[in-house]
Structure 1
Amino acid sequence: MSFHGMIDNLYQHWRPADETSTQTLRHLWFDSEHYKVAAADQSSDSTEHFVVTGNELAAGEPWVEERAVAIHVRLDPDARTCHVRKANTLTFGWAGHWLVRRGADPDALARYRPLPPDPYNCGSHGHGTDVQAEGLISASHYWYARPADARTRTIEDRIRRSGDRYEILTQQMAYSEYATDGEHEAHWVLLVDNHPRAAERQYLLQLETVHRSSGHYTLDEGAFPTEKQAHEWADRINPRRVAPLPATDPATGLPAAPKRPAVQAASAAFQPPSTTTRFTR
């Protein structure tokens, strides 16, 4: 069943369990065709559904924090009621984090749905062949973007599984596609990392860049000792050339371990006499 079909079925045949569910379901029903599913999971008895979507209505800077949407539906078949909640997030990774904390399988949410062959419904225009967009028509079309590489997927997987390790301090657009002739768009999230090993560099900045021509996004991050230094780095982001971030391990998100000098061999300047040495007067 499509996302639109699921929401329409809920709206027509299930009773919202509370006022929040009523408002959330009504909103989703009116705009369901604008939500593009990126990944999903459901319980074995199909009474719980976890959906990560992109929001077509969120293109552009004013709605930057609604680019990704996490939706959780819990059904009570006996009472024929539905409990519906959603959260607007900046990225798919953080939408997944919200859902995993509500019971979703992080492995399921890591399996992104492939893009349809004609995502923009261009059609054949009577020429007998489908017209397909190469990459994205616009870099702001985040709902069609997918992770570009292993590093991006590794960082996202850690985000989904991170529980209460991180606290989001700030999140905003780094630059829009208008700064790069439509080729790129980037956003950043500044976190406090509560991991004990991050104490000396606990301000973690994640930069996600959407690449229009390939239809993918990349995710990078770096750790700073102070919030001020992290903001200073973000303020200097140049869409033509982004400075490298301080190194972190993509699997753990922790600063790179300091290099320790190799153990040096003892100096040969002095050698104690052997037991067979004979002394003469």
Structure 2
Amino acid sequence: MEEAVHALRDWKPGDPASATTLQRLYVEPALYEVVASQQSTTEQFLVAADRGAPSAMTGTNRAAGIHLRLDPAARTFHLRMSSAVTYAWAGHWLVERGASPDALAAYHPVPADPYGLGSPHEPTGLLDGGDYAFARPGDGATLLVEDRIRRSGSRYTLLGRQMAYSGGSSGGEREANWALLLDRHPRASGRRFLLQLETVHLRNATYTLAEGAFPTERQAREWIDRLDSRNVAPPPATDPATGLHTAARRPAQRSDGTAFQPPRPHTVRSKGR
């Protein structure tokens, strides 16, 4: 985010909230690693990993959505940011503000040497579960769940989220976080309580999303209480909208997207009146 913040030096905040958000990003821009984006000459939608959110903290939002809109005629900008449980939920917030869900599905490539250690010291995988910025979806099922989240509108209400277990308890192989949602889909009647379990696989730098629906919140939370990092049972294999067994699907093709380019003041000109 350093380049994006620096590029706004010649622009003025359009309101107090924009000034506050810029100050937040200005203090520690390196904490926000952009992983997906959509942009035009006057507007940008960014999905970022929040590297300031330690993985050991329970209930931590590890992603953020950032929306920047420029007003070239007034030389002002409007900037908003919202923290989120996952990349997909950050994307959901941005889609509600006008972003394309397809554009935000194209993740940027992970840097070849994300830790900057250089060969032969560069590790394989992630050093810690908090290095969420360097993880990408691990299978087609995860991509499908993420796409549904981004497009879900007001379908879901977040009831709670927390760390399920840490990398330390799994021998450094993986860590997991859960989110419990209330599903308002008409065909989800009888299975309103949707549990999403996100697992970060440290050794191959990927994450996967599994989910299952329950008739009651109590049943969902009882399943959460039984989570064990040594032997993780999958959630009930049901489609959260219909309650039917989920059919096998082919993995979706993943695009790495294009590198993020911050706004450059000299390329945006006001129109003559």
If the TM-score is normalised by the length of the shorter chain, which range does it land in? 0.7 to 0.9
TM alignment of 1:139-218, pairs within 5 A:
139-218=129-208
On the 8 A contact 1:186/1:210 being kept in 2, the answer is: yes
Provide closer, same or farther for how the CA distance between residues 254 and 38 of structure 1 changes in structure 2, counting only shifts above 3 A: farther
Letter in 2 for 1:217: Y
% same residue? 50
Structure 2 CA distance for partners of 1:95 and 1:134, relative to 1, 3 Å: same
Give 1:61 shift.
3.0
Match of 2:80 among 80, 85, 104: 85
TM-score for both structures, normalised by structure 1? 0.84
Residue 211 of structure 2 is matched in structure 1 by: 221
2-structure distance, mates of 1:190, 1:42: 32
Contact 2:70 2:77 in 1 (8 A): yes
Between the aligned partners of 2:58 and 2:245, the Cα distance in structure 1 is 38
Contact residue 36 and residue 108 of structure 2 kept, 8 A: yes
* Alpha-carbon distance between aligned partners in 1 of 2:4 and 2:234, rounded to the nearest angstrom: 43
- Root-mean-square deviation (CA, aligned residues, Å) is 1.6
In 2, Cα distance between equivalents of 1:181 and 1:22:
44
Q: Does 2:26 correspond to 1:6?
A: no
How has the CA–CA distance of structure 1 residues 30 and 254 changed in structure 2, closer, same or farther, with 3 Å as cutoff? farther
1:159-213 deviations in Å (ceiling 9; x for gaps): 0000011111111111111211222110011111101100110100000000000
Match of 1:100 among 95, 100, 120: 95
Shift of 1:131: 3.9
1:134 aligned residue (105, 124, 140): 124
Structure 1's unaligned 5+ residue stretches are 125-129, 259-281
2:243 to 237, 255, 278: 255
Aligned counterparts of 2:193 and 2:58: Cα–Cα separation in 1:
25
Distance 2:201 2:145 in 1: 18
CA distance in 1, matches of 2:46, 2:53: 17
1:140, CA displacement in angstroms? 2.4
TM-score by length of 2: 0.86
SS in structure 1 of the partner of residue 110 of structure 2: coil
2:71 equivalent to 1:76 = yes
- Relative contact order, higher structure (CA 8 A, sep 6+): 2
How many equivalent residue pairs? 246
Tell which structure's C-alpha radius of gyration is larger.
1
Q: Which amino acid aligns with 2:93?
A: W
Q: Distance in 2 between matches of 1:253 and 1:147?
A: 22
